[in-house]
Chain A
């Protein structure tokens, strides 16, 4: 039988991979991939704790979180398309006018 801690460890590994991607990658689409990986690690935690506590609220939260992540991807890809049209590049270092 799988213990709770196994799922939590897998989700820690996924979060670390996602943060590595956010720090190292400079391609906007790949940074979006890293965000998705982090969001999914959070969902995995929610479901694992919900199963162990036998509580429906964790699953409701996970459903909401998945729906919000879908909206976030739609808007993020729309922004990437706009930035590509302006700069002909999807490398975030080329997006010069957004620099502070």
Chain B
């Protein structure tokens, strides 16, 4: 049976995920999303992978949350209050969520995966030197591609966000 720490983190993660989608103001939603990501990092620590947990905190709680909050601040305030959703669509979405939860959940419970068919929680934890070795040997092409993807994404985001007309007026005044 799950221990109290697990139940606490699960409640925090799921609860703040719901708040991030349902909160009235977008900025509270962004903060709730950051808390939810922090809960996922807590799960990673429970699963004895502190390196991935630190990565998760740095990237999601550090970078992504700040990026989202900046975007929310750049957008006009009237656009942030979500309009009333379609009642029919909302209830249909809720029913879809319940069906997915019940369907996938019962499928997983019936399939009988447990810690005996997939190793055991008592197995030795993965040492993070092993992660470094894997990344620099077997997965080195993937790492290089990842670096290219990140560079492309950053350049693409910069190219999307620049405003040509403002730059031209700045050049004229110079």
A residues lining the B interface (CB < 8 Å): 1-10, 12-21, 23-27, 29-30, 32-34, 36-37, 40, 43-44, 47-57, 59-60, 62-64, 66-75, 77-82, 84-85, 88-91
Residues of A within 8 A of B33 (CB): 33, 36-37
In the bound assembly, the distance between CA atoms of A30 and B72 in angstroms comes to 11
The tally of residues in B whose CB lies under 8 Å from a CB in A reads 89
Give Cα A26 to B165, complex, Å: 30
A54 touches B123 (CB 8 A): yes
CA distance A41 to B2 in the complex (A): 18
How many angstroms from the CA of A69 to the CA of B71 in the assembled complex? Answer: 17
- If the complex has contacts A47-B47, A66-B60, are A53 and B118 also in contact, measured as CB distance less than 8 A? yes
Given A12-B101, A29-B72, A78:B157 Cβ within 8 A: yes
> Is the pair A52, B119 in contact by a Cβ cutoff of 8 Å?
yes
**Interface 1/0s, chain B 68-104, versus A by CB < 8 A?**
1001101110011011010001101110111011001
Contact A73–B160 (Cβ < 8 Å) = no
Find out whether the CB atom of B59 lies under 8 angstroms from the CB atom of A81. no
**Which residues of chain B are near A88, meaning CB under 8 Å?**
76, 79
Please give, as numbers and ranges, the residues of chain B lying within 8 Å of A60 by CB-CB distance: 131, 134-135, 139
CB distance from B130 to the nearest CB of A (A): 4
A5-B114, A68-B146 known; A10-B14 Cβ under 8 A: yes
B126 to chain A, nearest CB (A): 5
B150 touches A71 (CB 8 A): yes
Contact check, B13 vs A56: say whether CB atoms are below 8 A apart.
no
Also in contact, A51 and B47, with CB within 8 A (given A29-B71, A90-B75): yes
Q: How far is the CB of A87 from chain B (nearest CB, A)?
A: 9
Pairwise interchain contact B49-A77, C-beta atoms closer than 8 A: no
Q: Are the CB atoms of A51 and B48 closer together than 8 Å?
A: yes
Chain A residues with CB under 8 Å of B123's CB are 51-54
Return the contact of B97 from the options A10, A17, A27, A47 (Cβ within 8 A): A17
- The reply to whether A23 and B10 form a contact with Cβ atoms under 8 Å apart is no
By a CB distance below 8 angstroms, the chain B residues around A17 are: 14, 17-18, 21, 97
User: A20: which B residues are within 8 A, CB to CB?
Assistant: 21, 93-94, 96-97
**Contact A44 B21, beta carbon cutoff 8 Å:** no
Say which residue of A24, A56, A67, A81 sits within 8 Å of B146 (CB atoms).
A67
Asked whether A53 and B49 contact (CB < 8 A) given A12-B105, A30-B26, A77-B157, the answer is no
- Which of chain A's residues have a CB closer than 8 A to the CB of B67? 73-74, 77
Please give, as numbers and ranges, the residues of chain A lying within 8 Å of B72 by CB-CB distance.
29
